[in-house]
Structure 1
Amino acid sequence: MLFKNPTVLYGLLFLLVPIIVHLFQLRKFRKVAFSNVAFLKPLLTQTRKSRTLKKWLTLFARLLAVACVVITFAQPFFPSITDSPADDSLIVYLDNSYSMQAKGIDGVLYQNAVNQLIEKLPSDLNLSVFTNDQVYKNVSRQEIANELLNATYAPTALSNEQILLKAQSLLGTQDQKATLLWISDFQRSGEQPFQGNGDQLKTELVKLEAVQNQNISIDSAYITVNDASERFVDVFITANYQIDAPVTVSLYNDNILLAKTTASLTNQNGSAQFKIPANTVLNSYLEIVDEGLKFDNQLFLSTNKREKIKVLHVNDSGNDFLKNIYTSDEFDYQNTTFSQLNYNSIKDQDVVVVNEVNTLPSNFAVELNKFMSAGKTLVVIPSLSGQGYSALNGAGNPQSLPVEKRIVSINFDHPLLRDVFSKRVTNFQYPKVENIAFAKASLNKILSFEDGSSFLWQDGNTFFFAAPLNEGNSNFQNSPLVVPIFYKLGLRNRESGNLYQQLGKNNQVTLPIKLEQDQIVELALGEQRLIPEQRAYDSYVELQTGTEVSQPGTYQVLLKNEPIASLSFNVTREENKNDFYNVEELGANTLSSVSEFVQQYKERAQASDLWKFFLTGALFFLICELMILKFIK
C-alpha cells in the first residue's frame, strides 16, 4: 500500500492523546463508610469489571477512528498490477489541420475536442500536448486552455511517423512510458496502413467524425489568357457529392464585389470564368457559399503591376523577326548588331537573344555567363561557322552539318510550354532545317527532330537552338510554333498565370525589385510580419517561403515599410479529401469522444484508491464508540 500524501501520517501521533487520557485518569475515588456492605461486595466487583471493559473498548474505538481519519487524508492506494507508475504520464496529440473544421454532433470537431479536454481532465494533472505546429510540455489544463481555444488551424498535418516521433521526444527519460492520446479525424495519407504504436507509448485513439461530409470547394484558379488587352481567370469548382443546382462564384477585388457568375457541376466538377482588363491589379479573393468545410470556400488571388520586360536582341542574321513578337505594350525591346553592342547594357536586361553571331569574344561570354548566373534568360541561335561558343556555360562550338531534318516532336510537359496548347497536337505542318550547328540529344529538350535529337533544349537558364533560324536555312520563322516559343521565353522570369502559392510548400517567387545594399523585403498580413528567405540579384529579388507562412490570405510585400507588391497564399486542397481510416483499420483501442477516454482514464487512476474505505471505517468506529458509551453499563 502506498500513500499520495505520506507526510499526513505524522498525524498518527495524535493516537497518544486518548492513550494518555486512558492511563492517567484524573478522577480520584474516596472511600465512604457504609453499613451492611457484605451483601454488596459481589455486585461491586461485577460493576468494576464492566467499567474496565467499557473503558478498553472505548479506547480501541477512539484509536481506530483517529487512525482511519489520518490515513484517509494520506490517500492510500494500491499500485496497479497491469500499469507501472510511469504510465500516469499523459501525452496528447490534438490534430488542428483544416479538415477538423468539419461539424460533429456537438459542433466543430476541433473546438469540441478542446472543450472536452479542458472540462473533463483533472485540474491537477500534468500533461504534454502537441498539435501540428505547437508543443506544450509538462503543463496543466489551465495553462494551455487559452492557447488551445485561440489556436489557428495548421496548413499541413503531421504524418503518423512524425506524430509518434514527436510524442517519444516528449518523454522525460529513455525508459519512461506514457499514454498517448491521439485525437484526430484520421484522414488517410498515402496508401500505407495505419501505424499508431510506439515502443514506449500506450496509444489511445479518439476518432472524431463529422455529421455529414458533403462539401463544395474552390479547387484552383488560373489566368488562361494573359495578353496586352485582357485576362481571363478560370476557376475550377469540385464537390464530393452529386449536386444539380449551379454554384454561385463571387470575385472580390480590394473587398469590393467585382463580378458574379455560376458554375454547373458535371460529375462533381465544374468551372467558371471571369474576364478582367489586363491592367487590373488584383488584390482579390473568390468566394462560394457552402455549409461544409469553411477554408475552401475562399481562394485568395493577387497580381502586381506589370513592368515591361526588357529584351535585348544581339542580331547578326540580317532579319529582325522578333520585333513582331516582343511588342511595345509588354516589352522594352532592343535590336542591335554585335558590333554596336554596349556590354554594360546586358546586366539590365531580362532576356538576351544571341542570334547568329559569328564570333563570341571571351569578355562577351563572361558577361553572358554572369547574366545567366543572375537567373535571367539567355537564348542562343548559333551561326554555322560560329567561334567562341564553348566559353558559354553548357555550350560547345558549332559544327556545320548539311543535313535536312524535320521538327516533329513537342514536349508539352516542359514548363516553357505548359498551358500553351489547349490540346496535344501531333499532326501539324512540320518546320524543317537545311543545316544544323549542334547535334545533341539533350535530356531537357523542348522541340525534337524526327531522329530524336534536340532542336530546342534548355540548360539551366540558357535555351539553345540546334540550327540558325534565318529563312535561307529554316522555315521555322513561318511556323505557328515561333510565336508561343519566343513569347514564353520572354515571360519566363515574370508572372505568367500563377495567382497564388500554397501554404506548407517550399515556394520560390521572383519579384522585379532592385534592392540596395542591406535592404530586405518583408511580408505583412494584418499585424503579422515576417522576413522570408531572400536572394537579391541585379534587377530582381528571389523569395523562398516555407512553413513560416502559415495563414491564408494576400500578403503585402514591404520595402522600407512601403507596399511594393502582393503575394497570395492558400491552404492546399488535400485537406478536403473525403477519405478517412475506418475503425477496423485503426484497431481496437479506438474511442469516439474525448469524454469517453477521460472517463476511462479516471477510472484506471482511481480503481485502487483506499481512502473511501478508511473514511467509512472512521465513521464506523465513531458510531461504535457512541454505542459502547450508551449501551454497555
Structure 2
Amino acid sequence: MAHWGGSKNSNKPITSSRGRSLLTLTYICSVSFLYPLFLTAGAALAIPILIHLFNLRKYKTVMFPHTRFLKDIQLNSQKQSQVRYKALLAMRLLFLLFLILAFAQPFFNTSNATDKGNRTQIIYIDNSYSMSVKKGARTMLDIAKEDAARQVRTAAPGTRFILLTNDKPMSYRSEPADKVFAAINALDVTAGTKTIAQVVATAQSMVQNEATKGGDLFYYSDFQQNAFPATPDKAMMKNITFYGMPVQADEVQDIYIDTAYLAMPVLQTGKNNSLIVHTRLSGKEAKDAVVLQLSINGQVKSAATLNFKDKKESIDTLSFQVNNANWQQIQLTLNDVVMRFDDTFRITARSASNFSILVLNEGQANPYLQAAFRAYEGFRLNQLDVNNAPKEWNSYNLVILNGITRMDANLGKAVSDALSRGQSICIFPGKTNNFEAINEGLKQSGDIRINGIDTAVQAASSLQQGSALVKDLFEKIPDNVQLPVANWHYSISAGLNANQQSVLSFRNGDPLFARYTPGKGQLYICATSADLQSGNFPGSYFFAPFLYQMAMQSGSSNIYAVTSGSQQAIYLPINNVSERNTMHVLAKNVDVIPPQRPNGAGLDVFMDQAVQVPGFYQLAAAEGDTTDVALNQDKRESVLEYKNISTLKSEWKGDNIKWPDVTKGGSLKESAVSNFPLWKVCVLLAVLMLAVETWLLARVKKVAV
C-alpha cells in the first residue's frame, strides 16, 4: 500500500518546508486577468501550427551532379529542416501567446482570500448630483463606476460585495460579484445625498448582519468640502477599514439659484408681487452672461441678466402678477450650460384670504403694531381695548395682548381656551411692579411666571435659529444684523410642561422673546414692552417678520419652498387627525405616505423624507383641501469645492484608513492588485519572440543561399 509519507497510520499528506513555502506563495500571489475575455483569442495559436504542418508537406526537388552525394545531403537537410521548423513554430506560438496575455493584462492578486472571507466587502459610490460634473468626455460618476466595476471584476473568485449608494441599498446582504457588477453599470445620478457618518453607520449595520469580523469600505466620491469632515470619528470607524477613492474634476464654473422669496409675506392678486432671487457663483468666474427667467404655471412672466461683477453672489428682483387665488407654481430657471442639475428653483404660493389679527390694548393703541400689519395687504387688523375684548376669538389667526399690566381670571381663561384650540397668542406686557397681577392669568395657561424686573440695559446675545419663527422665515440671517436692546425686562421662568424655547435671549440666559407650547397652540411672551422707551425691539430687523410668522402659524402656510434633505416640517391645520385624513404626497406616477405627526391643532408632514426628486407636489388626504408644495434640491451639491486630497490624507490617517494610488483624474489604478505592470513584460517578450523569429528566418535564407 502506498503512503504519502510519515507513519503508516497517517492519512494526511506531509509536505516539505520548501513545498509549504511554494504553496503559500502560490496562494498569496495568484495571477488574475483584468480582461479575461481576451484569452479566447488563444484559439489563434492554431494558425501557426496549421501553417507549420502545411509547409512540412511541401517538397523541393534538388538536382545533384552525382548520386553518390545524395544520401549525405538528404540526411543533413532533413535534420536541419526539423530543427528550423520547430524553432520557428515555437517563436510564433510564443509571440501570439504573449501578445494575447498583454491584451488580457495579467496581474498578481496579492489579496488574502481567507482574510477577505472574514470581512464584509462594501463599495459606496456617491451618485449625488455633484458627481454629474464632467472631466473630459466622461462624468465623475462614470469614472467611479468604471473603477468600482474593475474592482469587482478582478476580485478573487467567490468574493461577495455589498453596494451602497445614495439610493436605497440594492440588498442588505452581500451579493455575488456578477450581480453587483450589473448594478454598478446601471447606476445613475440621484437627488438623494448621504454623509460619511450615514454611510459608515449603514456599513456597521451590514457588518453585523453578515456576522463577520469587520468590513472593508471602498468610498468612491468627489469629497466635497461641505459634506466630508476634517477628521474621522474613531468610534464610528471601529472594525471598518476605510479605502478613500477620490474622483475629482478640475475647477468648473457653476451658477445656481441659492434661494428666492417674496418680498411680502403674502401673495397679492391683481397687483405687482416682487420676487427676490439670490444666485451664486461656484468655481471659476463666468465668461458668458447668464439669463434668469421667471415662469408662472408654465408661462414666462419676466427675465433678468445676471451680472456678478467679480462677486460670488447676485441679488435680483423680478416682478409679476397673478389673477386668481389658486395655487401658483412659480419656477425660476437659468441658462447655465455648464451645469444643469441646479438651474431651477421652485415656489408654490396662493393668494389666501386676509389673516385676522386681534390686538387688545391696555391704554393707547400701539403704532408699531399698527404700522407692521398695515404695511402689506393680506392682514385684517382689529384693535380693541382689553376691557372690551370679544368673547369669541375663534376667527382670529393671532391675538396680541399689548401693554397689559394685569390678567384677571377671565382674560387668563380666554387665553387658555385659545391655546387649546391651536391659536397663536402674543403678549407684550406693560411695566409694573405688581407683576403678580399678570402671573394670575399666566398660571391658567401653564407653569409660567414673572419673577422680577431687571432694569439694566442689555442687548440680546443669542438668536435661536432653529426656532420656527426664524428657520421658516429667514433663508439666511445677515452677518452684520444687530440683535435688539432692552432698557429693562422681566425675568421669566417656566416649568417643564410649558415647553419654553428662547428665541431671543440675554447673556445671563433670561429670554427676551420666548415661545411656549402648553397646549395645542403657541404662546409668545416678550420680556419687555413694544415701545421705544423699553427698547428698540419694535424697530428691529425681527419685529415685523416675527408678527407675520406668528399670524400664519395658526393656519396653513400659503408659500412653500422646501429643500430636499432639510427635514423641514410642513404644518397643516387638520382637526381630529386619523387614518381618514392621513396625508399623501401626490405627483405624476407618485403616491406615497410621508412621515407625519400631530402638532397642536394640526399635523407636521415631512415630505422630503418620502420624495427627493425636485419638483411640484401635492399634499392631500381623503378629506380636506389640497396643498401644493415645491421641493428643491440640496444646495450643498452645488458648491463644487473639493477637499484637497493631500490635506485629507494627512487628516484622515490611521491603521484602518487607506488611500490607494489614484490617477491624475482621481480614478483608482488598482485597489486590490499589484502595481507591477505584467502586461508590459508580456509586450516585451512578444517583441523578443518576434525578433528571434526574424533572426531564424534570416538564417534560413542565408543557408538557402
AA in 1 matched with 2:311: N
Q: State the 1:458 CA deviation.
A: 2.4
Once the two structures are superposed, what CA deviation does each residue of 1:490-532 show, in whole Å capped at 9, x if it has no partner? 4325389975222112212234555665412222232223323
Q: Please state if 1:389 is matched with 2:441.
A: yes
**Aligned pair in 2 of structure 1 residues 110, 346: CA closer, same or farther (>3 Å)?**
same
Match of 2:571 in 1: 510
Match of 2:290 in 1: 247
Match of 1:492 in 2: 550
- How many Å separate the matches in 2 of 1:475 and 1:594? 66
Q: State the 1:153 CA deviation.
A: 1.5
Secondary structure class of the residue paired with 2:174: strand
Q: State the 1:325 CA deviation.
A: 4.8
1:530-545 to 2 correspondences below 5 Å? 530-536=592-598, 540-545=602-607
AA in 1 matched with 2:629: L
Of residues 240, 243, 246 in structure 2, which corresponds to 1:207? Answer: 246
Of residues 350, 357, 361 in structure 2, which corresponds to 1:311? Answer: 357
Of residues 645, 661, 685 in structure 2, which corresponds to 1:582? Answer: 645
Instruction: Please identify the structure whose Cα radius of gyration is greater.
Output: 1
Unaligned runs of 5+ in 2: 1-22, 28-107, 495-500, 517-521, 650-657, 678-705
Match of 2:160 in 1: 126
Once the two structures are superposed, what CA deviation does each residue of 1:415-474 show, in whole Å capped at 9, x if it has no partner? 76886999968899x998xxx8946699947599xx99989632434343556679xxx8
**Aligned pair in 2 of structure 1 residues 352, 164: CA closer, same or farther (>3 Å)?**
closer
Instruction: State whether residues 525 and 555 of structure 1, in contact with CA within 8 Å, keep that contact through their aligned partners in structure 2.
Output: yes
Secondary structure class of the residue paired with 1:110: helix
1:189-588 to 2 correspondences below 5 Å? 189=227, 192-193=230-231, 203-210=242-249, 212-226=251-265, 229-239=271-281, 240-265=283-308, 266-277=310-321, 281-317=327-363, 319=365, 325-327=372-374, 329-338=377-386, 340-343=388-391, 345-355=392-402, 360-362=407-409, 364-372=411-419, 376-382=423-429, 384=432, 386=437, 388-391=440-443, 392-393=445-446, 395-396=448-449, 438=490, 444=502, 457-460=513-516, 461-465=522-526, 481=539, 485=543, 488-494=546-552, 499-512=560-573, 518-536=580-598, 540-545=602-607, 547-560=609-622, 564-575=626-637, 576-582=639-645, 585-586=648-649, 588=659
- How many Å separate the matches in 1 of 2:201 and 2:140? 25
- How many Å separate the matches in 2 of 1:167 and 1:455? 43
- How many Å separate the matches in 1 of 2:477 and 2:127? 41
Once the two structures are superposed, what CA deviation does each residue of 1:26-55 show, in whole Å capped at 9, x if it has no partner? xxxxxxxxxxxxxxxxxxxxxxxxxxxxxx
- How many Å separate the matches in 1 of 2:288 and 2:630? 30
Match of 1:45 in 2: none
Instruction: State whether residues 132 and 140 of structure 2, in contact with CA within 8 Å, keep that contact through their aligned partners in structure 1.
Output: yes
Secondary structure class of the residue paired with 2:202: helix
AA in 2 matched with 1:132: N
Instruction: State whether residues 183 and 207 of structure 1, in contact with CA within 8 Å, keep that contact through their aligned partners in structure 2.
Output: yes
Match of 2:221 in 1: 184
Secondary structure class of the residue paired with 1:590: coil
- How many Å separate the matches in 1 of 2:407 and 2:594? 39
- How many Å separate the matches in 2 of 1:487 and 1:297? 29
- How many Å separate the matches in 1 of 2:592 and 2:410? 41
Match of 2:39 in 1: none
Instruction: State whether residues 348 and 538 of structure 1, in contact with CA within 8 Å, keep that contact through their aligned partners in structure 2.
Output: no
AA in 1 matched with 2:662: L
Secondary structure class of the residue paired with 1:591: coil
**Aligned pair in 2 of structure 1 residues 151, 457: CA closer, same or farther (>3 Å)?**
same
1:20-35 to 2 correspondences below 5 Å? none
**Aligned pair in 2 of structure 1 residues 411, 603: CA closer, same or farther (>3 Å)?**
closer
- How many Å separate the matches in 1 of 2:646 and 2:542? 53
Once the two structures are superposed, what CA deviation does each residue of 1:241-266 show, in whole Å capped at 9, x if it has no partner? 12254321112222222221111112
AA in 1 matched with 2:274: F
Secondary structure class of the residue paired with 1:192: coil
Q: State the 1:354 CA deviation.
A: 2.2
- How many Å separate the matches in 1 of 2:483 and 2:573? 39
Once the two structures are superposed, what CA deviation does each residue of 1:356-376 show, in whole Å capped at 9, x if it has no partner? 556534354244235346664
Of residues 645, 662, 683 in structure 2, which corresponds to 1:591? Answer: 662
Secondary structure class of the residue paired with 2:626: strand
Secondary structure class of the residue paired with 1:295: coil
Match of 2:80 in 1: none
Instruction: State whether residues 256 and 280 of structure 2, in contact with CA within 8 Å, keep that contact through their aligned partners in structure 1.
Output: yes
- How many Å separate the matches in 2 of 1:478 and 1:190? 42
Q: Please state if 1:83 is matched with 2:112.
A: yes
Once the two structures are superposed, what CA deviation does each residue of 1:548-581 show, in whole Å capped at 9, x if it has no partner? 3322222212233886222222222222331224
**Aligned pair in 2 of structure 1 residues 315, 243: CA closer, same or farther (>3 Å)?**
same
Secondary structure class of the residue paired with 1:600: coil
**Aligned pair in 2 of structure 1 residues 468, 126: CA closer, same or farther (>3 Å)?**
closer
Q: State the 1:199 CA deviation.
A: 6.2
How many residues align? The count is: 516
Instruction: State whether residues 98 and 153 of structure 1, in contact with CA within 8 Å, keep that contact through their aligned partners in structure 2.
Output: yes
Q: State the 1:582 CA deviation.
A: 1.4
Q: State the 1:316 CA deviation.
A: 4.3
**Aligned pair in 2 of structure 1 residues 210, 497: CA closer, same or farther (>3 Å)?**
farther
Does 491-500 or 291-300 show the bigger shift?
491-500
TM value normalised by structure 2: 0.60
AA in 1 matched with 2:161: L
- How many Å separate the matches in 2 of 1:598 and 1:570? 37
Instruction: State whether residues 128 and 189 of structure 2, in contact with CA within 8 Å, keep that contact through their aligned partners in structure 1.
Output: no
Match of 1:600 in 2: 673
**Aligned pair in 2 of structure 1 residues 493, 241: CA closer, same or farther (>3 Å)?**
farther
AA in 2 matched with 1:99: S
Match of 1:100 in 2: 131
Does 503-512 or 82-91 show the bigger shift?
82-91
Instruction: State whether residues 577 and 603 of structure 2, in contact with CA within 8 Å, keep that contact through their aligned partners in structure 1.
Output: no
Instruction: State whether residues 407 and 442 of structure 2, in contact with CA within 8 Å, keep that contact through their aligned partners in structure 1.
Output: no
**Aligned pair in 2 of structure 1 residues 216, 230: CA closer, same or farther (>3 Å)?**
same
**Aligned pair in 2 of structure 1 residues 359, 190: CA closer, same or farther (>3 Å)?**
same
**Aligned pair in 2 of structure 1 residues 318, 220: CA closer, same or farther (>3 Å)?**
closer
AA in 2 matched with 1:270: S
Instruction: State whether residues 110 and 674 of structure 2, in contact with CA within 8 Å, keep that contact through their aligned partners in structure 1.
Output: no
Instruction: State whether residues 222 and 497 of structure 1, in contact with CA within 8 Å, keep that contact through their aligned partners in structure 2.
Output: no
Secondary structure class of the residue paired with 1:389: helix
Instruction: State whether residues 175 and 200 of structure 1, in contact with CA within 8 Å, keep that contact through their aligned partners in structure 2.
Output: no
- How many Å separate the matches in 2 of 1:446 and 1:457? 5
The alignment yields a C-alpha RMSD, in angstroms, of 5.0
Match of 2:34 in 1: none
